[in-house]
Amino acid sequence: MPEETTFDKLKKGLLELLRGYPSYRFFGKIEYYLQETYSSLEVLKEDGIIEFASKKEAKELNKKLTSEQKEKLKVEGKKEPIWYRLAPKGIDLAMSLINLEHSKRLSQYTQETHYFTRVLIWLTYIIATLTFGLFIFAFFQSIIPLWF
């Protein structure tokens, strides 16, 4: 099995974010998959894939954190989470990744269909040849009594 690349990990995170678009209710999704906290988020922000919540929105969202989420943040050594959501380019990227996955499956089904089509063509040739051979055999069987 091939090793999972960083882009494959990012793909999983983007698809999770896509499920909840357009809300800012996300923190820690991309960090979970990429294992790099702030640098990855900054690169994704600069590329236009994600956008951060404003300070005002972040304060409102921080008020809605559960006690379990607050404890997890303390364990990780963070005071508050970094809130983000998908930007338009991020949505386009996620949709492209979904389409890529579907095209790979479609390509596999196309190859299988091509194989079975060739098998059916060969079976048709074999059956046609056998039928023609049986027709010739039956013809000679019917002619032989006429000669003798």
Non-local CB neighbours of 88 within 8 Å, separated by 6+ positions: 48
CA distance 3 to 11: 15
3-state helix vs strand vs coil in the chain, percent to 5: 75, 5, 20
- pTM of this structure: 0.65
User: Which domains does the chain show, CATH number per domain?
Assistant: 6-106 (1.10.10)
Q: Name residue 44's amino acid.
A: L
pLDDT digits (tens), the chain, 148 positions = 577 777 788 888 888 888 777 766 777 778 777 776 667 888 888 888 888 888 888 888 888 787 888 888 778 777 788 888 888 898 899 899 899 989 999 999 999 999 999 999 999 999 999 999 999 999 999 988 877 7
